Amino acid sequence: MTLIGRTFVLSFAVAFLMAPTADAAVGDRCSPQIAGNAAAAAVCGDVCAQYGMVFAGNWSNDPNHPPVKACIDSGGGQAVCGCSLATPSGNVTIAPTVHFVDAATPLRVPIELKKTCMQGPDALYSSDLCPIVTANGLSFWALSYHDNRMGMAIVAYDSSGNVVGLTEKAGARYVWDIVVDGTAHTLVFKGQAGNTITLKWTDLLVPQMTGSTTASYVIWPTATSGQAWWTNGVANYGASAPFGSGSNQLLDPYVEHGAGKQLCAEKQQPWFDFVSPTVASPSSAVTCVAPPTPGQPTYNAAMNALLNAAVNDHDLMAALRTATTDALLISVAASRGYPLTYADIAQSRGHGPSFMSRSASPDALAEASVTMSDCGGANQKPCIQCAQEVCVYWPFNFCCVKESCSCTQYTKSCAAGLQVNGSGVCQPSCPSGQICKDFPVFLEYNDNGTVANGVCESWLGVSSCAKGIPNNALAAYEVVFHEGIAYYKSTNTRVDTWNVSSVSETLYVIDARDSRIYMVNVDGRYIQIRGTANCVGEPRAQDTSTRYCSKPRLTTHAGILMGSIAGLPSPNTQPGQEVRQQIKVIGAGTVKVVNGVIQSITNDSGHFRPSQENLKNSISNFKSAGFPNFPPLNDCGYDLQPVAGKEGVYRQDALTGGHCEL
């Protein structure tokens, strides 16, 4: 089959509908910078695995896209990966992809169906291309009916062109496009006159995907009148019989039973069940199963005997199909001379104490993580265990073999005293009154300043910049107080908030390592040059802005401390994109300072997102450092005022002589 024309992969088809959060069960996750499709699978695979999920195929690195912007603002990353829970299908991950292929591609088409692909919803002519879905090694074609009914048959083909699955859906005909919805896990088949049908991703699962012991095939009549055989498009099975009304018509289950028995015996999977066809829809799905080998206690002797008899006796199989409860199954089996107990049934369904699944265990990630010695410790990913398991049973409606299991929910655990942080890594529990958060070093401190860090162009519209305060420059921004006045410690000069533009402000952070207070004047993203925090390779006068540098330096709250915590720029080796560093602060936000006197303080930090309690902790530290004019003081309580347009951000003004007794 030749893929031509347009190829649409899930990466481009899915819109992000959920905010990026580590607490959501399913959805977007912040990730390092993603350059393109080639890098997305590797990057997002690791990101999603941290949350016990799989990469859904959709991603974005557009800084104007709200989830991406939220990740950038919070310091969580420069892109977003779409993650999803593994689908209940054993260790198989469904990853549907839509292609447009040559409409002349030869197919083994069941007798009641036809291949009709149109140029659009209102087109009068057929198209040279047909949209198909590929998933897990199978190709799914949306075929229409010869009688032009309002419906489609979604037919699955294996790599050899065999028909291995058929799902009938009413509501639309004559496909012209297929859209993948990665959020709802559905496929929308678009047909004539704007009509559509919707298929769940799980409908793409056929028994071939769940284990080596089970396989599915589709057979149909060779003709719809006169003498006909059952066929799969390759060979005929069973016996010839007249199609139509009458006791010996081809659609008689006895005839189909013989065809299914022959087909499955040929495949060396002699147990089988089938979906009874109708005259209008004469195709039949046959599921073939290999019985358990010695040492596989999926079935006990009593159940083995019953199933061996059922595949050789259509009357017995038909009778067993009426057994909708365990009691009825026992009664039907006994009436045919096969004694069965409730314990036999429980054991065969996998609920008995001696049951052992053939394909066994939860998802490979959980299985590996539980036994790994390098999980759950400090700076390691947590150990991931299965919290809820869903099992797939094949194939009989009266009794089931437990073919495979997969996890639908996970738990993540760290060693004692550690907890999973927002980056999915085990870290010591954050002390009370502090904010502890991991940041990518590459993004918060980057002297290379290329477009690869995703900052220069998205923030400034230039291709080269630097980011973060160098380790050897941080001391120039340390602030101390004397008689209620704020001074830069290194120069003994008073602190003043810049007034060079409408976006001027003073950032502060209180380092949890030693309670030191740092204040950095910024003009938008540009910083005030102090000490050696100069333009890269281009010395500028102290106290001027980096705005006018050929390679300007920027910073964020996290960038103020990242250089000192990571020891940068010495050595000046650029950190890798996966390197993360935890920063602990007592508080962070903005202050307004006039000639050394603080006028107000806020908790406005998109990186650390301090709470009101964190803001109160910051106020307490400023008071302890030597600025007493913040409440509470005597009978003065806090007067935290919400900042307009900034959810969760509050401002506390400094006290004046007239506010209360000083």
Looking at residue 246, what is its pLDDT? 62
Of 271, 235, 231, 281, which Cα lies nearest the Cα of 255? 231
- Residues, the chain, total? 662
C-alpha 156/C-alpha 166 separation (Å) is 6
- pLDDT tens-digit readout, 205-260: 777 755 556 788 999 999 988 889 999 999 999 988 888 766 667 888 888 889 99
Give yes or no: residues 507 and 648 share one domain. Answer: yes
For the four alpha carbons of 60, 65, 68 and 72, in that order, the dihedral sign comes to positive
Of 496, 491, 558, which Cα lies nearest the Cα of 521? 496
Give yes or no: residues 517 and 635 share one domain. Answer: yes
For the four alpha carbons of 110, 116, 121 and 127, in that order, the dihedral sign comes to positive
Output the CA torsion 364→368→371→374 (10° steps): -160
Select, from the ranges 236-250, 372-386, 609-623, the one with the highest average predicted confidence (pLDDT).
Answer: 609-623
C-alpha 464/C-alpha 444 separation (Å) is 15
Looking at residue 294, what is its pLDDT? 55
Domain span including residue 28: 3-84
pLDDT interval class at 270 (50, 70, 90) = confident
pLDDT interval class at 659 (50, 70, 90) = low
pLDDT interval class at 418 (50, 70, 90) = confident
Q: Is residue 20 part of a domain?
A: yes
Whether 281 has a pLDDT exceeding 50, the answer reads yes
The mean pLDDT of the chain is: 80
Q: Is residue 282 part of a domain?
A: no
- Total number of domains constituting the chain: 3
Looking at residue 544, what is its pLDDT? 92
Q: Is residue 179 part of a domain?
A: no
Outline where DSSP puts E strands in 146-255: 151-157, 163-170, 177-181, 186-190, 196-200, 214-221, 226-231, 236-243
pTM of the model: 0.47
**Of 44, 63, 84, which residue sits at a domain end?**
84
Q: Is residue 660 part of a domain?
A: no
Give yes or no: residues 436 and 530 share one domain. Answer: yes
Give yes or no: residues 338 and 440 share one domain. Answer: no
**Of 51, 84, 117, which residue sits at a domain end?**
84
Identify the weakest region by mean pLDDT among 402-406, 540-544, 624-628: 402-406
- pLDDT tens-digit readout, 568-583: 887 666 677 778 888 9
Give yes or no: residues 476 and 586 share one domain. Answer: yes
Whether 651 has a pLDDT exceeding 90, the answer reads yes
**Of 44, 59, 84, which residue sits at a domain end?**
84
Of 259, 307, 262, which Cα lies nearest the Cα of 283? 259
Q: Is residue 105 part of a domain?
A: no
Tokens of 274: 């089938």
C-alpha 146/C-alpha 150 separation (Å) is 11
CA angle 15, 18, 23 (to 5 degrees): 145
Q: Is residue 608 part of a domain?
A: yes
The count of other CB atoms within 10 Å of the CB of residue 501 is: 12
Tokens of 457: 């162009």
- pLDDT tens-digit readout, 185-207: 889 999 999 999 999 887 887 77
C-alpha 152/C-alpha 144 separation (Å) is 5
Give yes or no: residues 334 and 448 share one domain. Answer: no
Residue 521: is it exposed, middle or buried by C-beta count within 10 angstroms (0-12/13-18/19+)? buried
Of 463, 477, 486, 594, which Cα lies nearest the Cα of 528? 477
Q: How far apart are the first and last CA of the chain?
A: 85
